[in-house]
């Protein structure tokens, strides 16, 4: 979200003046007859509060249920205000008093969140930060930007994760400089921000640990060489005829996860087959199968088109979130699917009559009053039933019909991609970003009415994530793992173990992850094609000799310095 705000309101001044790229952004969050620069900044500040803390969904997913994230918003605000001191505001407390405390947008009630009731309440819980001088908060903002960039890059360039742990990273340089500033260290409020930055950096390092392990952060003794031999023998056995169980389990689990989205799309298609998403020539709803959705209507009989639409909604909720649904436990690991269901629901309700008031005409008599929406769901922490799940995203039912239609078309196009995922030829074309979905998504992304709305932005993010996952699956289809034949098996494993020594830890760890929930596949390949040649084991010895030398008496100095710096950071 901060990255988006920086695009709409760049950090750099333009000839000494603020540069506001899109006036709609601040106008949508702060209502004024005329806007000064301070008002515009305040509107964008409200945008950040609403995007991150505006409801329980945002609080859980964007703030990770941590109210301390407000410190980053205040750091951004301080940085922007400090850029032009002639505006007359010299500290955050003055800004709070004049532009926050009595502004209605900051005092609006926030439902379904226990930790705070309004944005003012949220700020008051961090009020000690308001006394930090602009110049110091601006320095913290510089460090936060670097941390943000690391998080943003991590998702896309995970193999370069190790650079974030190096003592010469830009963030650590900035952090150490702040830490040594005597003016900053004298106040407990500064220590609070230090703690927040440090914890978020530790979280980043924890995420990094999921990627290739960094052998350079361990001291490998010469004795490890001799330990390595039985380890390789053990791995060799693990991949022998009798040791392939784990590998096939992992492969099967990946296939299961890949098929979830495809199954999701198939369920939507089942509903469309029974309840088409187009009107007939008389502008009436069409019903192709009177029996398919009856189980989800009162008394097992659908009487009206609202009955059938409600039944379709219940069918989808049941398929995705019921105990026996297609999603694995925990069910809340797939919170965004309800967005797709509500897009479909809103589209269908608006299909017949554009003047429908969805909340009054449908939500109250059906979702709010129907017992089937109140059926208890197991394994869905934070939600007792379908109604709770919908209520958290209820705003989606108030979407503009034109925008709903665009999102619905994007969803249908995305499902079309997943349904065709098995076709290698088509898959290759989709990687060129010229698919129907990509074109619709680009149109949505360039629509200011959509990008200026936090709810629509969240939907865009969900679609983008699922499209990114689709492209990853395409890459897997087009570049499958090489077949393990007798002729190339040794070469394949040499590529795994020999070419990237730093990745060895990750490979070994990944083979022992718990995937017992997957079905076990058997192997009938010849023993000769499963065993790692003994030659590979002895070939590994020179590699480990090389690593051992690197960590010998002559190579300890630099590693020791880095270890010492990390210990200092922990303190």
pLDDT score for 79: 87
Structure-token pair, residue 185? 């260290």
* Residue 40: band (very low, low, confident or very high) from pLDDT cuts 50, 70, 90: very high
Percent of the chain with pLDDT over 90: 11
The pLDDT of residue 173 is: 79
Contacts of 331 (CB under 8 A, 6+ apart): 320, 321, 325, 377, 379, 380
Tokens 């074109």 locate to: 439
**Angle, alpha carbons 139-197-96 (nearest 5°):** 60
Q: Which of 210-214, 262-266, 544-548, 552-556 has the highest mean pLDDT?
A: 262-266
CB count within 10 Å of CB 402 equals 11
Q: How confident is the model at residue 540 (pLDDT cuts 50, 70, 90)?
A: low
Highest mean pLDDT among 151-155, 173-177, 336-340: 336-340
Q: Report the predicted TM-score, pTM, of the whole model to 2 decimal places.
A: 0.47
Question: For 137-165, what is the mean pLDDT?
Answer: 68
Band (350; pLDDT cuts 50, 70, 90): confident
Q: What number is the average pLDDT over the span 281-307?
A: 83
pLDDT at 346 over 80: yes
Least confident stretch, 26-35, 131-140, 352-361: 352-361
**Residues 235, 185: Cα–Cα separation, whole Å:** 51
308: closest CA among 279, 338, 337, 349? Answer: 349
Q: Is the pLDDT of residue 163 over 70?
A: no
Q: Is 271 within 8 Å of 312 (Cβ atoms)?
A: yes
Whether the per-residue pLDDT at 424 is higher than 60: the answer is no
Q: Mean pLDDT, the chain, as a whole number? A: 72
Please give the structure tokens belonging to residue 565: 């710096």
pLDDT band with cut points at 50, 70 and 90 for residue 491: very low
Contact between residue 430 and residue 423 where contact means Cβ atoms under 8 Å apart: no
188 or 566: which leads in pLDDT: 188
pLDDT value of residue 187: 65
At residue 264, the pLDDT reads: 84
C-alpha to C-alpha distance for 248 and 232, rounded to whole angstroms: 20
Query: What span, in angstroms and rounded, lies between the C-alpha atoms of 411 and 393?
Result: 17
User: What pairs with residue 133 in β-bridges?
Assistant: 91
Token representation of residue 355: 């003047």
pLDDT at 43 over 80: yes
pLDDT band at 497 (very low <50, low <70, confident <90, very high): very low
Cβ proximity of 139 and 78 under 8 Å: no
Quickly list H helices, 446-503: 448-451, 454-478, 489-497
pLDDT at 159 over 70: no
Kindly tell me if the per-residue pLDDT of 243 is higher than 70: no
Which of 117-121's residues contact partners 24+ apart within 8 Å by CB, and which partners? 119/46, 119/49, 119/53
CA distance linking residue 571 with residue 569, whole number of Å? 5
Rounded average pLDDT over 149-176:
63
pLDDT reading at 36 higher than 90: yes
How large is the average pLDDT for residues 365-384?
80
* DSSP letter for each residue of 160-178: GGGGGGSTTSHHHHHHHHH
**What are 72-121's pLDDT values in tens digits?**
899 888 888 888 877 778 888 989 999 999 999 999 888 778 888 999 99
Cα within 13 Å of Cα(236), Cβ side: 19
All residues at 6 or more sequence positions from 555 whose CB lies less than 8 Å from its CB, including other chains: 549
* Rounded-to-integer distance, Cα 147 and Cα 153, Å: 10
Q: Is the pLDDT of residue 557 over 80?
A: no
């Amino acid at each position: 979200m901060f990255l988006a705000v920086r695009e709409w309101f760049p950090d750099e001044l333009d000839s000494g003046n603020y540069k506001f790229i899109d006036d709609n952004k601040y106008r949508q969050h702060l209502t004024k007859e005329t806007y000064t620069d301070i008002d515009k900044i305040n509107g964008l500040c409200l945008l950040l509060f609403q995007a991150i803390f505006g409801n329980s969904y945002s609080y859980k997913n964007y703030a990770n249920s941590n109210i301390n994230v407000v410190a980053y918003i205040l750091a951004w605000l301080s940085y922007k205000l400090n850029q032009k001191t002639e505006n007359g505001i010299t500290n955050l407390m003055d800004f709070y008093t004049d532009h926050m405390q009595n502004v209605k947008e900051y005092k609006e009630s926030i439902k379904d969140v226990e930790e705070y009731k309004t944005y003012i309440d949220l700020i008051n819980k961090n009020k000690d930060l308001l006394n930090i001088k602009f110049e110091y908060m601006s320095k913290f903002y510089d460090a936060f930007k670097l941390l943000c960039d690391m998080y943003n890059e991590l998702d896309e360039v995970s193999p370069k994760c190790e650079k974030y742990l190096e003592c010469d990273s830009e963030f650590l340089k900035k952090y150490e400089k702040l830490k040594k500033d005597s003016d900053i260290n004298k106040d407990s409020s500064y220590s609070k921000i230090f703690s927040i930055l440090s914890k978020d950096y530790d979280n980043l390092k924890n995420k990094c640990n999921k990627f290739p392990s960094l052998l350079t952060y361990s001291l490998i003794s010469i004795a490890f060489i001799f330990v390595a031999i039985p380890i390789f023998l053990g791995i060799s056995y693990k991949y022998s005829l009798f040791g392939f169980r784990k590998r096939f389990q992992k492969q099967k689990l990946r296939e299961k996860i890949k098929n979830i989205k495809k199954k999701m799309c198939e369920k939507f298609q089942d509903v469309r087959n029974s309840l088409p998403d187009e009107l007939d020539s008389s502008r009436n709803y069409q019903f192709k199968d009177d029996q398919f959705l009856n189980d989800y209507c009162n008394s097992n009989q659908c009487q009206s088109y609202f009955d059938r639409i409600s039944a379709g909604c219940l069918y989808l909720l049941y398929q995705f979130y019921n105990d026996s649904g297609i999603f694995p436990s925990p069910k809340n690991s797939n919170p965004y699917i309800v967005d797709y269901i509500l897009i479909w629901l809103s589209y269908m309700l608006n299909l017949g009559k554009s003047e429908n008031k969805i909340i009054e005409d449908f939500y109250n008599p059906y979702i709010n009053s129907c017992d089937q929406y109140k059926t208890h769901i197991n394994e869905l922490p934070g939600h007792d039933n379908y109604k709770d799940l919908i209520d958290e995203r209820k705003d989606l039912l108030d979407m503009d019909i034109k925008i709903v239609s665009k999102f619905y078309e994007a969803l249908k196009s995305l499902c079309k991609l997943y349904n065709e995922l098995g076709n290698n030829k088509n898959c290759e074309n989709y990687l060129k970003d010229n698919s129907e979905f990509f074109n619709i998504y680009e149109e949505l992304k360039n629509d200011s009415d959509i990008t200026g709305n936090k709810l629509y932005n969240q939907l865009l993010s969900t679609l983008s994530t699922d499209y990114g996952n689709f492209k990853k699956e395409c890459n897997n289809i087009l570049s499958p793992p090489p077949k393990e034949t007798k002729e190339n098996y040794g070469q394949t494993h040499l590529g795994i173990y020999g070419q990237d020594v730093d990745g060895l830890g990750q490979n070994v760890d990944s083979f022992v992850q718990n995937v017992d929930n997957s079905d076990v596949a058997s192997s009938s390949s010849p023993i000769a094609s499963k065993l790692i040649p003994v030659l590979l084991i002895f070939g590994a010895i020179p590699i480990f000799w090389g690593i051992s030398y690197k960590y010998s008496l002559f190579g300890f100095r630099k590693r020791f310095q880095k270890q010492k710096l990390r210990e200092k950071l922990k303190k």
